[in-house]
Chain A
Amino acid sequence: MYSVRLWAARHPRIFEVAYNAFHPVLTRLQPVWKAMGEERSEKVVGKVEQLSKELLFDCKMCGQCILSSTGMSCSMNCPKSMRNGPCGGVMQNGHCEVKPEMRCVWLEAWEGSQKMRQSDLIQVVQTPVDHRLKGSSSWLREARRASQPQQEGRHE
Chain B
Amino acid sequence: MSSATPPTPGTHDGSAALPEARGRLEQVLRAGNFAITTEIAPPDSANPQDVYDRAAVFQGFVDSMNATDGSGANCHMSSSAMCALLSRRGYETVMQISCRDRNRIAIQGDVLGASALGINNILCLTGDGVQAGDHPQAKPVFDLDSMSLLETITGLRDKHQFLSGRPLSQGPNVFLGAAENPFVPPFNLRAMRLAKKVAAGAQFIQTQYCFDLPRLRNFMHQCRDLGLLEKCFILPGVGPLASARAARWMRQNVPGVHIPDAIIERLDGAHDQKAEGRNICIEMIQALQEVEGVSGVHIMAHRQESSVPAIVQASGALSDRTPWAPEMETEPLASTATA
Contacts and interface: CB of A to CB of B under 8 A. Distances in A.
A86 B148 contact: no
B189 to A, nearest CB: 5
Interface string B251-265: 000011010000000
Contacts of A98: 129, 131
Contacts of B208: 88
Interface residues of B, number: 38
Nearest to B152: A128
A75 to B, nearest CB: 9
Contact of B189 (A91, A110, A128): A110
Interface stretch (B168-176, B178-186, B283-291): B178-186
Given A79-B140, A89-B129, A84 B147 contact: yes
Interface stretch (B19-27, B195-203, B297-305): B195-203
B145 A90 contact: no
Contacts of A13: none
A3 interface: no
Contacts of B192: 123
Given A125-B151, A127-B148, A128-B152, A92 B186 contact: no
A85 interface: yes
Contact of A85 (B128, B140, B144, B189): B189
A80 B140 contact: yes
B196 A91 contact: no
Contact of A86 (B127, B143, B189, B258): B189
A83 B200 CA distance: 13
A106 B185 CA distance: 10
A106 B208 CA distance: 19
B126 A92 contact: no
A81 interface: yes
Nearest to B149: A128
A14 interface: no
Contact of B258 (A83, A92, A97, A128): A92
B145 A88 contact: no
A82 B189 CA distance: 15
A87 interface: yes
Given A84-B145, A86-B193, A123-B195, A107 B152 contact: no
B199 A89 contact: no
A82 B180 CA distance: 14
Contacts of B129: 79-80, 89, 97-98
A111 B129 CA distance: 24
Interface in A76-133: 79-92, 94, 97-98, 104, 106-107, 110-111, 123, 125-129, 131
Contacts of A85: 147, 189, 193, 196
A17 B188 CA distance: 26
Interface of A: 79-92, 94, 97-98, 104, 106-107, 110-111, 123, 125-129, 131
- The 7 A-B residue pairs with the shortest CB-CB distance, nearest first, are A89-B255, A88-B181, A84-B147, A97-B255, A98-B129, A85-B193, A128-B148
Given A82-B126, A111-B186, 15 more contacts: A80-B142, A80-B145, A81-B142, A81-B145, A84-B200, A86-B186, A88-B179, A88-B208, A89-B255, A90-B185, A90-B256, A91-B255, A97-B255, A110-B188, A128-B152
Interface of B: 99-100, 104, 126-129, 131-132, 140, 142-148, 151-152, 163, 179-181, 184-186, 188-189, 192-193, 195-196, 199-200, 208, 255-256, 258
29 contacts: A80-B99, A80-B129, A80-B142, A81-B143, A83-B147, A84-B145, A84-B147, A84-B148, A85-B193, A86-B184, A86-B185, A86-B189, A88-B179, A88-B255, A88-B256, A89-B256, A90-B184, A90-B185, A97-B256, A98-B129, A98-B131, A104-B185, A106-B189, A110-B186, A110-B189, A125-B148, A128-B143, A128-B163, A129-B143
